[in-house]
Chain A
Amino acid sequence: MKETKTYAGLWLRDWFGIFIHELKLIFSDPGAMVIFFVGGLLYPVLYNLVYANGTVDEMPVAVVRLSDGSYSRRYLEKFDATRECSIYCECVSMAEAEQLLRERKVHGILYIPRDFDSCLERMEQGHISTYADMSSFLYYKDLRIASSLVMLDEMHSIQLENYAAAGFDGQSAYELVQPVLSDESIPYNKPFSYTIFFISAALMLVIQQTMFYGSSMLAGTLRERNHSFASLPDRLQGLGMGRVVLGRGAAYLAVYLVVGTIVALLVPWMFRLPQHAAWWEVEVLLLFYVVACIFFSFTWGTLITRRETVFVLFLSVSPICLFLTGFSWPQTSIPAFWQAFSYLFPSTFGCRAFINLNTAGGTLQTIAPEIRALTLQTVIYYFLACAAVFVENRLHKKQTVPAKVQGRDGVLS
C-alpha cells in the first residue's frame, strides 16, 4: 500500500510542477498572451461592431413603370412601405435603371411592363419582373422577400375585388381567398439577422483557434530553443506522458475557463445577443469543449517546430472550420467526405452545441449528442497527445547532442 501512495504522491508532485511551469511559460510570453487575451477578446468585439445591424433595411431599388394605372401604383406604394426595400427613383427605361445598378446606387430593379394594369383589368395575369444584384445574397433576399410579400398581399386584394364583382363578398369571399390560414412562427432569429447566426458560431470558434495558435506558438518556441516541451523527468525513463500532458492541459484549462467565460457569457451579454441558457449550462459545455480543444491543440501542435509557422501554415483553416460547423451552408448538404473531415475539429460540435443551447434555448439534454462527441474526441486526442510526447521525447534525446554542436539553426541552415 505504501508504494502505491508514494506513486500517487510522486505523480501529483510532477503534475503540479508541470502545471505551474506551463502557467509561468504562458504568462511570461507576451506573444501568447496577446493571442489568448487580445485575440480571444478582440475578435468577438470586432465582429459585433461590424455585424451590429445584421440586416440591410430600405435597400434602394429602381423602378421602371411603363404601365400607368391603379394596380401598379398600389403595388409600388406597398413595395416602398416594406422594411426590406425602398424605391430610389422611377426610371423611364431599363437602360437608365441598369446604369444606376452599375453605379451601385440601387441594388435591384422592379420592372412593370406596359400591359400590367390592362391585363389585371381584363382579369388576366399581370407580370412583374425583378432583377437582383447578386453581389451579396442579402440584396437578393431583400428584393425577393419584399416583392413576394407585396405580391401575396395584392393577390388577396385583387381576388377579393374579383369575387365581389362576381357577387361574393364579405366572409364568404374571404373564406374563398384564404381557405387555409397559416400561423407562422420564426423563433430564435426572426429577421434572419446575419449577426445572430454568424456570431453564435464565431464565438466558439475563436476559443479553439486562439488556443491552437497560442499553444502551438509556445511549443514552437520551445522546440526552436532546443528544449522540447515534451521533456520528461529523467528518472521516469521515458514514461509518465500522462502527467506531462495533464499538467500542461490543466494550465490551459485554467486560462481558458476565464477566456471562455468572457467569450461565451460576457460578450453576448455586452452586445445583447440572445442568451437563452442558464450560465452554468454554458459553463458545463465550455468545460467539455475546452478540454477537447486542449488535447486537439497538443496533438496537432506537434507539427509546429518554429514559433511563427503555425500562423503561416494553418491560418486559412479558420474559415474552413467555420463552414464545417454548418452555420451557413446547411449541415445536411455537406458532402460526406467533408462531414467526416469536420469530426477532426472540436469546433464542429462545440459551435453546434452552443447555438442549440444558448441561442435556441435548449437544455443540456438537447446537446447530449454533441457533448458525447466532444468526450470521444477528448479521449482520442488525449492518447494521441501522449503518444506524440513519447515519440518526440525519443527523437529529442537522439537529436540533443548533434543539435547543440550545430548551434542556432539560422534561416540559411
Chain B
Amino acid sequence: MMKDIWQVIRREIRIFRARPVYILASVGAMIFNTVFYLTFMQDGLPHDLPVGIVDCDRSSTSRSFCQQLDATQLTGVVYYDDIHLARRDMQTGRLTAYIVIPEGFNDDVQASRQPHLGYYVNSLYFVGGALSYANILQMVNLTNGAVQRQFLRARGVNEAEIMARIQPIVLDAHQIGNTTTNYGVYLNSVILPGVLEMIVILITVYAVGSELKYGTSRHLMQTAGGSIVKALAGKMAIYGLIFTFLGITLELILYHWMHYPIRGSVGWMCLAILLLVAAAQSIGLFIIELIPNLRLAISVSAIFSVFAFSVAGFTLPVEAMPAGLQGFSAIFPLRHYYLFYVQEAIFGSGFAGWWKEVVHLLIFTGLPLLLMRRLEDAYINQRYERD
C-alpha cells in the first residue's frame, strides 16, 4: 500500500523537477503576490490626498481655512485660480475633491451673512473620495466652531463652557479588530489567503489534468498499482506539503512578523489556512473529476477562483447581495475562511465562534470521493478529448 503511494510520490517529484511551471506558479506566484500586497498598501491609510481649492476671497479667514486643511495628515491642498480647471482635474481623477471659497467670504462671516462654501467630492475612487469627504466635513464644522468661539470669548464665556457649547456631543469611535482603520490590514487578511486558494485550485487541476492531456494517466495508474485512491493520494501529497508550507508562512508573516492585529491565536489561524488549503485542493480535484478535460477544467477553475474574492463578503457584505446569491457564497472555501478569520482574529471568540466553518471546510474535503470513479474511468480509458 504505502509502497505504491511512495512510487507515485517519486514519480511526481520527477515531473515537478522537469516542469518549472509548478514551482513558478506556486511558490513564485505566492511570493510575488505577498510582496505586492504588503508593500502596495504599506501606509495603511493614504495621506496627502489632493484636494483643490479655488480661493476667490483671498482673505485671512480663507487662507487660514486652507492652511488648516493642508495641515491635516489626510489631505494636501492644491490651489486653483479657475473653477473650470479644478473641475477638469477632478474629472480626470487628479483631485479627490475641490472646494470653492466665494468672494467676500470673510466680510460675510464677520457681518453674520452666512456665506456659502461649496465643495465637490469625487466619489469614483472609493477610499480617496470617502476620506476626503469626511475630512472636509470636519473642517467646515471646525470653521463654524471657530466663529462661535470668537463670539463667545468676546462675551467672556470660559473655555470649558465654550467647548460644551460648540461641541455638545463628542463621538469616540472605536474599531474592533482594526483599531487604526488600516486599509492594508483589512484587505490583505483575506486577499492573500484568496490568492493562495486560487493557486491551490489551479495547480491541483493542472497536475491531475496533465496526465489526461499528455496521455500519461495509464502510466500513473500502473505506478499506483491500479488504485485511483493511491494515485491521487500520492499526487496530492507533495503539493499539499508545499501549499501547507506556503499557508503557514503566510499566516506567520501577517500575524507574527507584520503584527497584524489578532485577538485570538495565530495557531488557530494556521488551522484555518490548513483547512482552506485542504478544501481548495478538494475543489480542484472535484472540478477535474467532473470535467476530465484539462482545458475546460482550467477555465472553470479560473472563473471559480476569481469570483471567490467577490462573494467572500469582505468587500461588499453578503447580506447586501441579492437573496439568490447569498446561499451561493457558501460553495466558496474562501467565504468560510473569512468567517473563521472574523471570529478568531477580530472577535477572538474561539472554538464556539468558528466550529461551523471548520465543519463547512471539512465537507469540501469529502467532495472528491463522490466522483472519483469518473476520473478513474477517464484515466484508464482515456476517452476524452485532450485539448
Contacts and interface: CB of A to CB of B under 8 A. Distances in A.
Contacts of A366: 88, 91-92
Interface in A110-155: 120, 123-141, 143-144, 147-148, 151-152, 154-155
Contacts of A411: 15, 19, 210-211, 213-214, 216
B355 interface: no
A172 B216 CA distance: 89
Contacts of A91: none
Contacts of A213: 302
Contact of A138 (B167, B176, B316): B316
A180 B144 contact: yes
B40 A334 contact: yes
A53 interface: yes
A123 B161 CA distance: 7
Interface stretch (A190-198, A230-238, A282-290): A190-198
Given A126-B169, A130-B171, A330 B46 contact: yes
B295 A308 contact: yes
Contact of A34 (B49, B198, B299): B299
Instruction: Tell which of B91, B114, B140, B178 has the most Cβ of chain A within 10 Å.
Output: B91
A329 B46 contact: yes
A132 B347 CA distance: 12
A326 interface: yes
Given A159-B168, A410-B215, A359 B124 contact: yes
B269 to A, nearest CB: 14
A120 B90 CA distance: 42
Interface residues of A, number: 119
A31 B141 contact: no
Contacts of A133: 176-177, 346
Interface string B94-127: 0010000000000001001011111111111111
Contact of A320 (B21, B33, B90, B120): B33
A311 B176 contact: no
Contacts of B186: 134, 137
Interface in B293-343: 294-296, 298-299, 301-303, 305-307, 309-311, 313-317, 319-322, 325, 338, 341-343
Contacts of B109: 179-180
A330 B322 contact: no
Interface in A388-413: 408, 410-413
Instruction: Tell which of A192, A316, A356, A366 has the most Cβ of chain B within 10 Å.
Output: A316
Interface stretch (B199-207, B241-249, B270-278, B367-375): B199-207
B133 interface: yes
A8 interface: no
Given A31-B387, A135-B177, A196-B124, A410 B322 contact: no
B175 A134 contact: yes
Contacts of A355: 93, 124
Contacts of B342: 104, 135
B346 A187 contact: no
A35 interface: yes
B67 to A, nearest CB: 16
Interface stretch (A43-51, A249-257, A264-272): A43-51
A54 B46 CA distance: 23
Interface residues of B, number: 125
Contacts of A3: none
Contact of A127 (B19, B144, B172): B172
B130 interface: yes
B126 A192 contact: yes
B176 A192 contact: no
A102 interface: yes
Contact of B168 (A126, A175, A192, A359): A126
Interface in B10-48: 14-15, 18-19, 21, 24-25, 29, 32-33, 36, 39-43, 46-48
Interface string B155-175: 000001101111111111111
A197 B92 contact: no
Interface string A147-183: 1100110110011001000000000100111111111
B349 interface: yes
Given A134-B178, A141-B130, A183 B172 contact: no
A410 B386 CA distance: 13
Nearest to B111: A175
Nearest to B313: A136
A14 B173 CA distance: 69
A410 to B, nearest CB: 5
Interface in B125-167: 125-130, 133-134, 137, 140-141, 143-144, 147-148, 151, 160-161, 163-167
A182 B117 contact: yes
Interface string A210-224: 000100010001000
Given A152-B141, A185-B120, A330-B125, A50 B91 contact: no
A185 to B, nearest CB: 5
A11 interface: no
A313 B25 contact: yes
B183 interface: yes
B234 interface: no
Nearest to B109: A179
A360 interface: yes
A101 B342 CA distance: 11
B144 A178 contact: yes
B346 A134 contact: yes
Nearest to A187: B120
Contacts of B319: 56
B191 interface: yes
A315 B43 contact: no
A136 B134 contact: no
Contact of B140 (A56, A180, A318): A180
A355 B316 CA distance: 20
A332 B314 CA distance: 24
Interface of B: 14-15, 18-19, 21, 24-25, 29, 32-33, 36, 39-43, 46-50, 88, 90-93, 96, 109, 112, 114-130, 133-134, 137, 140-141, 143-144, 147-148, 151, 160-161, 163-178, 181, 183, 186, 191, 195, 198-199, 202-203, 206, 209-211, 213-216, 219, 294-296, 298-299, 301-303, 305-307, 309-311, 313-317, 319-322, 325, 338, 341-343, 346-347, 349, 353, 387
Given A176-B148, A315-B202, A335-B40, 17 more contacts: A31-B295, A49-B322, A53-B316, A127-B170, A128-B172, A133-B346, A186-B121, A189-B124, A194-B126, A197-B124, A221-B387, A327-B125, A328-B127, A331-B128, A335-B39, A338-B36, A412-B14
20 contacts: A50-B325, A51-B310, A102-B353, A125-B167, A136-B315, A151-B169, A158-B169, A162-B168, A179-B112, A184-B121, A186-B121, A189-B129, A192-B123, A192-B129, A308-B213, A309-B25, A319-B195, A366-B88, A408-B214, A413-B18
Interface of A: 31, 34-35, 39, 42-43, 46-47, 49-57, 75, 101-102, 104, 107, 120, 123-141, 143-144, 147-148, 151-152, 154-155, 158-159, 162, 172, 175-190, 192, 194, 196-198, 200, 213, 217, 221, 306-309, 311-313, 315-316, 318-320, 323, 326-335, 337-338, 352, 355-356, 359-362, 366-367, 369, 408, 410-413
